[in-house]
Amino acid sequence: MLFRSSILVLLQKESEYRKFFVAGLVNGIGDRFCQVAMLSLILSTTGSGLAVGLALGLRVLPFLLLAPAGGMLTMRFSRRKIMLLTNLIRVPFALSYLLVNSADDLWILYTASTLLACAEALYAPVRKSGIPLLVQPEHLLKINGLEQVMNGTVLIVGAFLGGITSSVLGPQAAFITNALCFLVAAVMIRKVSFPSGMSTESNGMSLEHVEKTSAAASSNPSVITRANGAVHVPSVIWRLVRPSVALQIIILFELWVPVINGIDNVLISVYAIEVFALGDWGVGLFYAALGTGLVLSNWCSRYFQHWLLPGVVICLLVEGGLLMLLSMATLPVIAVLIYILLALMSGVGNACLDTLLMCETPEKYRGLIYGLVTACSSSMLGLSMFGAGLLLEVVEPRKLGFAGGLGFAGIAVLLTTYGWLRAREAFRIRRTTKRT
Domain that holds residue 292: 13-193+204-218+230-435
* Number of domains the chain is built from: 1
The alpha helices in 135-244, defined as continuous H runs, are: 140-153, 161-169, 171-190, 207-217, 233-241
Percent over 90 (pLDDT), the chain: 22
Residues 6 or more apart whose CB falls under 8 angstroms from that of 394 comprise none
Q: State the Cα–Cα distance between residues 312 and 348, nearest whole angstrom.
A: 8
- The answer to whether residue 203 scores a pLDDT higher than 70 is no
In a domain, 365, yes or no: yes
User: pLDDT value at position 215?
Assistant: 41
In a domain, 224, yes or no: no
State mean pLDDT over 47-55: 73
The highest-confidence range among 58-62, 287-291, 398-402, by mean pLDDT, is 398-402
In the structure, what pLDDT confidence band is assigned to residue 41 with cuts at 50, 70 and 90? confident
Give the closest residue to 94 by CA, choosing from 7, 34, 16: 34
Which helix (H) or strand (E) segment is 137 a member of?
A: none
User: pLDDT value at position 283?
Assistant: 76
Give the closest residue to 300 by CA, choosing from 146, 84, 177, 113: 146
pLDDT in tens, 305-337: 888 889 999 999 999 999 999 999 999 999 999
- How many C-beta atoms surround the C-beta of residue 270 within 10 A? 22
User: pLDDT value at position 11?
Assistant: 83
State mean pLDDT over 419-431: 83
Amino acid letter, residue 126: V
The DSSP letter of residue 222 is: P
In a domain, 1, yes or no: no
| Contact status, residue 313 vs residue 412, Cβ threshold 8 Å | yes
In the structure, what pLDDT confidence band is assigned to residue 76 with cuts at 50, 70 and 90? confident
CB hemisphere CA count around 254 (13 angstroms): 22
User: pLDDT value at position 106?
Assistant: 84
Q: Is the dihedral of CA 61, 164, 295, 311 positive or negative?
A: negative
Q: Is the model more confident about 376 or about 86? A: 86
Q: Where are the beta strands (DSSP E) in 267-329?
A: none
- The answer to whether residue 202 scores a pLDDT higher than 50 is no
Q: State the Cα–Cα distance between residues 52 and 262, nearest whole angstrom.
A: 11
Which of 102-111, 232-241, 360-369 is predicted with the least confidence, judged by mean pLDDT?
Answer: 232-241
In a domain, 47, yes or no: yes
| Contact status, residue 55 vs residue 84, Cβ threshold 8 Å | no
User: pLDDT value at position 198?
Assistant: 47
- The answer to whether residue 410 scores a pLDDT higher than 90 is yes
| Contact status, residue 297 vs residue 347, Cβ threshold 8 Å | yes
- The answer to whether residue 120 scores a pLDDT higher than 70 is yes
CATH number of 25's domain = 1.20.1250.20
Q: State the Cα–Cα distance between residues 92 and 27, nearest whole angstrom.
A: 15
The alpha helices in 203-278, defined as continuous H runs, are: 207-217, 233-241, 245-270
Percent over 70 (pLDDT), the chain: 89
In the structure, what pLDDT confidence band is assigned to residue 214 with cuts at 50, 70 and 90? very low
Q: State the Cα–Cα distance between residues 86 and 418, nearest whole angstrom.
A: 39
In a domain, 6, yes or no: no
In the structure, what pLDDT confidence band is assigned to residue 231 with cuts at 50, 70 and 90? low
Which of 11-15, 194-198, 233-237 is predicted with the least confidence, judged by mean pLDDT?
Answer: 194-198
User: pLDDT value at position 183?
Assistant: 93
User: pLDDT value at position 340?
Assistant: 94
First to last CA, the chain: 59
Which of 5-19, 129-143, 168-182, 197-211 is predicted with the least confidence, judged by mean pLDDT?
Answer: 197-211
Residues 6 or more apart whose CB falls under 8 angstroms from that of 55 comprise 38, 39, 42, 109, 110, 113
In a domain, 117, yes or no: yes
DSSP string, 103-116: GGGHHHHHHHHHHH
The CA angle 423-302-136, to the nearest 5 degrees, is 95
Give the closest residue to 210 by CA, choosing from 411, 48, 368: 368
Q: State the Cα–Cα distance between residues 357 and 247, nearest whole angstrom.
A: 7
Length of the chain: 436
Adjacent-strand bridge partners of 225 = 231
User: pLDDT value at position 280?
Assistant: 67
Q: Where are the beta strands (DSSP E) in 60-160?
A: none
- The answer to whether residue 292 scores a pLDDT higher than 60 is yes
Average pLDDT across the chain, whole number: 81
Which helix (H) or strand (E) segment is 66 a member of?
A: helix 63-73
In a domain, 87, yes or no: yes
Amino acid letter, residue 140: L
In the structure, what pLDDT confidence band is assigned to residue 49 with cuts at 50, 70 and 90? low
| Contact status, residue 239 vs residue 214, Cβ threshold 8 Å | yes
3-state secondary structure of 231: strand
pLDDT in tens, 84-105: 999 999 999 999 988 888 778 8
State mean pLDDT over 25-37: 85
Q: Is the model more confident about 36 or about 257? A: 257
User: pLDDT value at position 31?
Assistant: 86
In a domain, 364, yes or no: yes
| Contact status, residue 179 vs residue 37, Cβ threshold 8 Å | no
CA 429 distance to own-chain centroid: 36
User: pLDDT value at position 222?
Assistant: 35
pTM: 0.70
Burial of 18 (0-12, 13-18, 19+ CB in 10 A): middle
Give the closest residue to 348 by CA, choosing from 360, 340, 336, 359: 340
Amino acid letter, residue 161: L
